[in-house]
Amino acid sequence: MSSYRLPWFIVLWSVLSPLPGTAAWFDNYQTYAAYQQKLGEYAATYPTLTTLSTIGNSYEGRAIPAIRITGTGSAEVAKKTVYLNGMMHAREWIAGMVPMYIADRLLTGYGTDPRITSVLDNTEFMIVPMSNPDGYEYSRLTNRFWRKNRRPNGDGSVGVDLNRNYGYQWGLNSGSSPFPDDETYRGTGPFSEPETVALRNVALADQDVVTHIDFHSYSQLILSPFSYTVDPAPDQDLLVQMAHTMADSIQDMHGKIYEWDDPFLYLASGTSIDWMYGDQGIYSYTIELRPTSSNPGFLLPANQILPTGQEMFPAVLDLAEYTMQLAGGDFDVNDRFECADIDRLVRGIVLGSNKAELDLSGDGLLDGLDVVDWLARAGRANLASQASYLPGDANLDGSVDGVDFNLWNSNKFTSLPSWCGGDFNVDGLVDGSDFNVWNAYKFLSADSIVQVPEPALNLLLAGLVAAGVFRRTAF
């Protein structure tokens, strides 16, 4: 992630600088009403950076508040969303305070802290700190170790485990319980609970969500999909890479180790991260916060709120910077624009992917406009002239020549959604229409195109339009 890394002393300042007028709020666990009040204060104090909303109501009718935070400066990439939610399980009090701390640091640091300013100018944060307000108030006032929501189940028992109620692989196996008395009771059906419907609808309404964290406690772990199976996720390498980076940043702050190398904790079906990733294509994590063990377990002392938030904040910035790189077209996040990236984009367009980072143009569709955007970004990064790569340039060397023809020729008449394999019109086939694209640009170089009066992107766009590249695919 070197493209967005800042010097270590700026990173340290980002997370340890004072919180003007708000530090005392994190000295103790707060009531549901105090959460609402503080979010309202943020919105009133930072009206240009925030949007306060209610995403839905709990079973007992309590509002589930959310705050959207983004910067006002110019963006380098089409803005994508980092989605954070906390305290889905009522007794995990620290899991609500941490997203509040993150909101606080983003707002108080914007405009003065270079890293925070860059992140907010290029991403949006959607933060839902109190996912289970009924359960939390019951835990706070009646039963400290209450986990579920407060829906009566009709048999004398109360509550559904919200993190077993999501629709992806709901009720698939022993990773959730069909028995209402159990702590992992999954409910009567997927998304049977108003709380999970509200959390789901945030992602459905914002198709620019690229990354997500569901905060829980305890164990000090960073868990990635899947929970319902031990089989690895298709993007396992990237998920682990991002988790590793976050874990390193956490440890750098106060020395706390968050395990990340094994994404599987125990079998759990119907979880938030499985739905986010499996249904919506979002890179999603469960982060189990302090402590490591049952002593003190859920009873984490209040003096641990601030250090827990401090160590988590740089990890969240890491994830936001990964989001920026993904949104910029570096889809394997290795600081290079290469065939693997554009081939991933082409496959996404042809196969109708729902991954938000592929929508480079930011118009909510996957099509040739995103190819144009990628070729322009890659050219600026890779070519001395900073021109755009041309249609027909299969090997991305800046020239459309015989090497590119040979690549097309070796794959002609095959089903191959690969730019570097010759699929220049992004239809999933390497055929005569792709040859026509190559032929239209043969023996031209990006350097020669950039010299003409008309901007290179306009010529590139005209060429792709003529080639019929614009398959409009909503994702």
DSSP codes joined into one string, 402-448: HHHHHHHHHHTTEE---GGGT-TT-SSEESHHHHHHHHHHTT-BHHH
Please, is 60 exposed, middle or buried when counting C-beta atoms within 10 Å of its C-beta (0-12, 13-18, 19+)? middle
Q: Which amino acid is at 388?
A: S
Which among 137, 195, 288, 357 is annotated as catalytic?
Answer: 288
DSSP state of 125: E
Q: Which amino acid is at 102?
A: I
User: What distance in Å separates the CA atoms of residue 361 and residue 79, rounded to the nearest whole number?
Assistant: 10
| Residue 288 bears catalytic tag | yes
Taking each helix axis from N to C end, the angle separating 305-327 and 236-254, rounded to the nearest 10 degrees, works out to 140
Taking each helix axis from N to C end, the angle separating 305-327 and 94-109, rounded to the nearest 10 degrees, works out to 60
In this structure, the dihedral spanned by the alpha carbons of residues 417, 418, 419 and 425, taken in order and rounded to 10 degrees, is -10
317 token code pair = 């910035």
DSSP state of 168: T
189 token code pair = 């059906």
Non-local (6+) Cβ contacts of 156 within 8 A are none
User: What distance in Å separates the CA atoms of residue 407 and residue 215, rounded to the nearest whole number?
Assistant: 47
- Asked if 355 and 475 count as a contact pair (C-beta separation under 8 A), the reply is yes
Residues with catalytic annotation? 288
